[in-house]
A and B are shown apart, each in its own frame.
Chain A
Amino acid sequence: MRIGVFVCHCGSNIAGTVDCAKVAEIAKNFPDVVYADDPMYTCAEPGQAAIEAAIHEHKLDGVVVASCSPRMHEATFRRTVERAGLNRYMFEMANIREHVSWIGKEQQANTNKSAELVEIAVAKLRNNRPLAAKTFDVTKKTLIVGGGVAGIQAALDCAEGGIPVILVERESTIGGKMAKLDKTFPTVDCSACILGPKMVDVAQHPGITLYACAEIEEVSGYVGNFSVKIRKRATYIDWEKCTGCGACSEKCPSKKTPDVFNEFTGTTTAINIPFPQAIPKKAVINAQYCRQFTKGKCGVCAKVCPAGAIDYAMQDSFVTEEVGCIIAATGYELMDWTIYQEYGGGRYPDVITSLQYERLLSASGPTGGHIVRPSDGREPQTIVFIQCVGSRDNSIGRPYCSGFCCMYTAKQAILTKDHLPQSRSYVFYMDIRTPGKMYDEFSRRAVEEYGVEYIRGRVSAVYPDGLGRYVVMGADTLLGEPVEIRADMVVLAVGIEAAKNAPALAEKLRISYDKYGFFMESHVKLKPVETNTAGVFLAGVCQGAKDIPASVAQGSAAAAKALALFARDKLENDPQTAQVDARRCVGCGKCIRCCPFGAITETEIRNEKKAQVIETVCQGCGLCTSTCPQGAVQLSHATDNQILAEVNALCR
């Protein structure tokens, strides 16, 4: 081989603590290395041009770049060598920035280590083989999990782009959390008024198939060709027949059913349509409370339903959809704030969550938009808002900021003043975080125009004063003294966490999630929509806290990723797949059993059972390679011999 080595200075990032020229000089003595240089910025245009020139001039057939992490620029340099006519896999990187120059200050040790890392890379490269991608067909259809505003936006954008969409929603209606909100910041326009039309569009768009009351059961396949099994939960109502007239819920005798949509601020009937603008506007029976199910007799709804849609015998059913990509938009839930015993741990009826407060504010809520205390129905005079309940609190293992609470607290305080002009509102806050367009102006209005009293400090305790009100004890850290407020109502800005089933879904989608259940994007900065599984994209809060505009933007971004994927008729696989040496294979099937992707099947060659890799399914983990005792399955680009070459270069 004829190998060229480029030891990047990265300005002073590397050269500050590594003698790059010396590393290049040492590299010249490595086997097959015929050229070495130490450019200032290898990744910059002149640096890349120099690599191309060297490939031509020195007839290189392999290149090693010692610079930053391959996770940063491997793709860049692969394209560089490809432009110069080399196969992109005849390239290796030595990470001498993140793994050397940035973590140690001793130049001698760093220089030595860099040279060794280059040596490993050369050793590996000498065992590299050119690899070529294979092409395969694509199913041009998108599946979206979650019908909140992010999922709705992604669905509409995909469908508008001509790509059929399957939208799967766990609840009986789409709309997500946004549908529960009264008004939205910073414009204070009605949430239902701006979301409603989009929901209707979803229902009416011919390119969108909506499965509500449905969940993902199984996912198999790979980018371009996923097969998704969807569980349609039994609603006990034939939605083909249901007209959404609501006659059933009017007559339903089981009126003490907890109202999930209203965040348990009221009760509803066992058969109901969650809210008037629900899409699909279809009734659902809550079997836990329906007398037909709990007592075995009732049947009132079946009698009154003019369409004859009630079907108590309904079972869960399944449907399988073939799609080319999947967008996860499963949103969030509020954390269980009742672990805060100092706020009563849920024992005090007038200490409520901000989302419950939204339902109290909403004209379609249980109180018709009147702010009253859940305990006695009286209008509160003093309301205390406590921010960061379950956010930025390391003591309960939740260090992250939930992102939008500062803004909605300001909004709720403003709306409170609108509803109850005589009322006084206090907001306990840690910091006000309002970095959006018109956001800070909005929160200032709460203080300046609406007279909301902002107190910088945490609340140490909330307790009933025995006379029907609540004592809110806290600290004003600006004044440096304790504060005690008698409040009629306390609203907690409860922090968010990922949807309960997010980890289970992540495992089905083979994507990663963090310890709070939020899905992991492929790169925090540069790939915020992609995941580590090709063809699975993220939208909305399932990826991390964000407000409505950001969720909508990410929904559109995910749709753009889907549309870009489908802009091609054929896809190329990553050729870093496992290969079977049929001669070595004894057909024991251990690899088949281990493969996380079902990418290995059994085949027969001359009447002997052999393993066979489906290259388009193989994701290149190499588990099979370390499982096969005789080394018959080798992962291209990470073969036993390639890794052994690296080990041998280090240990001899």
Chain B
Amino acid sequence: MNYAYYPGCSAKGSSADYEKSTQAVCAVLGMNLVEIPGWNCCGSTPAHAVDTELSAALCSRNLDIAAQQGVEKLLTPCPSCLSNLRHTAKRMENPQFRARVDELLDNPAAPDFPGVTSVMQGMAAHCDANGIASFIRKDLGQLTLAPYYGCLMSRPADIMDFGDPENPTLMECLLAACGAKVLDFPLKTACCGASYGIPERTMTARLSARILRLATDMKADAIVAACPLCQMNLDLRQPQAAKEADAIFAMPVLYFTQIMGLAFGLSPDTLGLEKLRVSASALLDKLEPAPSISKTPVEGGQSCE
């Protein structure tokens, strides 16, 4: 099945591993991601706080491209892109706002935009827990994972559509379907401080440390992220956080797509694991071949949604 796909700029740089693993896992699931042509930045720079209309114009252009393609749904892996695209679609419902944005565009934006959804939501909509289980080739039963959505994915609730903004559960659902032990991770939607990584390094370190410490204390084998910025922050800045917290962390921070890929038996290279700063080798050691290819159905077998 084809899905229109908006990778976002991180996918081409800092989160190339996210992109790689997303493509790989989606391929396994039978989701063919078709990148929309000529997309641009979603405006998720500090610009969107400075000039809403300019930022919306950037998003509108992307949404317009998707609309011209005639797609119904657009997938994106990045919560920040998702947030910007959805906010724009919402704001463009206001005719005055739309008129101002249209002035910034070469051509007025399409009257109706396609719906935008995250890759995570897209996967859950594409196949239910049993469907995911049927692809499992490696047993993740020894892994204890701390799902971490980051602060953006579920907020604001009415825009992002992730259920309770304090307690989203979709990622848990996917990870559990892959056979891993999933922690009820209390800080799953807490801020990691990434956006202040440059001006307020201490604060960022403190916030990250809080998450890393809890995951460590809860004996997690890895934190599972869904946001390029969070992943980079928690992984790359782990020494800074450790210094701030006066602790030693060795917590691999993987994308949920990487975990899924591992469960599906994909190779670490395919999933871009080599890009991790905190190595996932300990984690890989805990993987075992799946006991049998045809797994017993996941309880209920219902959709994750």
Interface residues of A (CB under 8 A from B): 341-342, 344-345, 347, 461, 463-467, 471
Bitwise interface map of B from 131 to 174 toward A, beta carbon under 8 Å scored 1, else 0: 00000000000000000000000000000000011110000000
* Residue among A463, A466, A471 with most chain B CB within 10 A: A466
Pick from B165, B166, B218: contact of A466, CB under 8 Å: B218
Closest chain-A Cβ to B204's Cβ sits at a distance in Å of 15
Contact indicator B187/A466 (Cβ below 8 Å): no
CB within 8 Å of A: which of B43-97?
A: none
> Contacts A347-B184, A461-B190 given: A341-B164 contact, CB under 8 Å?
yes
Distance, CA A263 to CA B214, complexed state (A): 31
Q: Are A466 and B219 in contact (CB under 8 A)?
A: yes
User: How many Å lie between the Cα of A276 and that of B214 in the bound state?
Assistant: 45
* Cβ–Cβ contact B167 & A341, under 8 A: yes
Set of chain B residues within 8 Å of A464, measured between Cβ atoms: 186
- The contact sample of 6 A-B pairs, CB cut-off 8 A, is A341-B167, A344-B186, A345-B164, A461-B186, A466-B219, A467-B217
Instruction: Give the size of the chain B interface in residues (CB under 8 angstroms).
Output: 14
Distance between B144 CB and nearest chain A CB, rounded to angstroms: 11
Inter-chain contact B217/A465, CB cutoff 8 Å: yes
Residues from chain B with Cβ under 8 Å of A342 in the complex: 166
- B297, chain A: closest CB distance, angstroms: 26
Are B164 and A466 within 8 A (Cβ)?
Answer: no
Q: Mark B215-226, 1 if CB is under 8 A from A, else 0.
A: 111110000000
B residues sitting closer than 8 Å to A (CB atoms) are 164-167, 184, 186-187, 190, 214-219
For A471, list chain B residues within 8 Å (CB).
186
Bound: A467/B166 CA distance, A: 22
For the A-B complex with A341-B165, A466-B215, A471-B186 known, give 4 more contacts whose Cβ atoms are closer than 8 Å. Answer: A345-B167, A463-B186, A463-B187, A466-B214
How far is the CB of B223 from the nearest CB of chain A, in Å?
13
Which residue on chain A has the smallest CB distance to residue B163? Answer: A341
Instruction: Tell me, in angstroms, the Cα distance from A467 to B213 when the chains sit together.
Output: 11
- A347: nearest residue on chain B (CB-CB)? B184
Closest CB in chain A relative to B200 CB, distance in Å: 14
Closest B residue to A348 by beta carbon equals: B186
Instruction: Please indicate the chain B residues that have their CB under 8 angstroms from the CB of A341 in the complex.
Output: 164-167
- Nearest A residue (CB) for B217: A466
Residues in A whose Cβ lies below 8 Å from that of B164: 341, 345
Assembly CA distance A351 to B230 (angstroms): 29
CB distance from A481 to the nearest CB of B (A): 12
Please measure, in the bound complex, the distance between the C-alpha atom of A344 and the C-alpha atom of B187, giving whole angstroms. Answer: 11
For A345, the chain B residues whose CB sits under 8 A away are: 164, 166-167
**For the complex, what is the distance from the CA of A347 to the CA of B188, rounded to whole Å?**
15
Closest chain-B Cβ to A151's Cβ sits at a distance in Å of: 38
A461 to B219, CA, bound (A): 21
For residue A347, which residues in chain B have a CB less than 8 angstroms away from its CB?
184
**Neighbouring A residues of B219 by C-beta, 8 Å:** 466
Cβ–Cβ < 8 Å partners of B184 in chain A: 347
Q: What residues of chain A lie closer than 8 Å to B214, measured between beta carbons?
A: 463, 465-466
Nearest residue (CB) in B for A467 is: B217
Question: B186: nearest residue on chain A (CB-CB)?
Answer: A463
